[in-house]
Amino acid sequence: MTRNIQAVLFDMDNTLFDFLEAKLIACQRIVEHLGAGDAESLLQYFLRKNAGYEDLENIQDYLQENELYSDENYAISCALYEKVKVEALVLYPGVIETLQKLKEKRLDIALVTDAQSYNAIKRIERTHIGDYFDTIVTTDMTGAKKPDLKVFLYALDILNIPPSKALFVGDSPRRDIEPARKIGMQTAYAAYGDKREKGQKVEADITLSKISEIIDFIFEK
């Protein structure tokens, strides 16, 4: 183990599964129910710069601005969104095999997400990955969201691993890679999952086209 990595910390959404695609499928179900509108346009409301990525008020704004709002439409749309976005989750190819390999090699594995605990649990249970993680860190545990360094330090403290011996795997250069590098962690940029910041130069120890590539990186001969 030439890189002396003792722990691997993963972002969740768009690193382990395509959450953006699941959100789009949920938006499609909403517009099908409404009989009007456009799924891609609705999704863009969740991606607005000053909007919460999971804030249901994005649906309210969309309905109001497209003259589709009623209390009933809003309630049903929110329920559909919450249900379908979880049902539509599909792990990226190689995720289970990669987690299994890390477990076999006795590395500590952590999940570090900006999701609230109750939302993280739903996604973890849906994708059946919970047993692979030694610890799961959510935003309500830390009182902060990435790129706040507190999030990364909190996870490392639980694992009792120094930053230099930990690898962080994430799809966001700004929220995952930059802060992890700042505190001295090794980094793996999950380019395969980055649909929002794609195209920019990313300083990471490795850029991944698929998640399984971290195995050769960690156990480089």
**DSSP line for 127-189:** HT-GGG-SEEE-HHHHT--TT-HHHHHHHHHHHT--GGGEEEEES-IIIIIHHHHHTT-EEEE
Residues of the chain above pLDDT 70, percent:
97
CA separation for the pair 75, 60 (Å, rounded): 9
pLDDT at 2: 56
pLDDT at 197: 62
Q: What are the tokens at 14?
A: 């768009």
* Mean per-residue pLDDT, 85-114: 98
User: 158 pLDDT exceeds 80?
Assistant: yes
Torsion of CA 50, 54, 55, 57, to 10 degrees: 100
At 207, is the secondary structure helix, strand, or coil? strand
Beta-bridge mates of residue 13: 17
Using CB atoms within 10 A of its CB, is residue 197 exposed (0-12), middle (13-18) or buried (19+)?
Answer: middle
pLDDT at 220: 81
Question: Tens digit of pLDDT for each residue in 45-81?
Answer: 999 988 888 999 999 999 999 999 999 999 999 999 9
Structural domain 7-17+92-218, CATH architecture: 3-Layer(aba) Sandwich (3.40)
CB neighbours of 79 closer than 8 A, spacing ≥ 6? none
Closest CA to 113 of 101, 102, 127, 103: 127
CA separation for the pair 115, 146 (Å, rounded): 10
| Number of helical (H) and strand (E) elements in the chain, helices listed first | 10, 6
Q: What pLDDT band is residue 3 in, cutting at 50, 70 and 90? A: confident
15 Rama class: left (phi>0) / alpha (psi -120 to 50) / beta: alpha
* Mean per-residue pLDDT, 2-21: 95
Q: Tell me 79's DSSP state.
A: H
pLDDT at 221: 59
Closest CA to 197 of 216, 179, 175: 175
Cβ proximity of 169 and 9 under 8 Å: yes
Q: Tell me 14's DSSP state.
A: T
pTM for the model stands at: 0.94
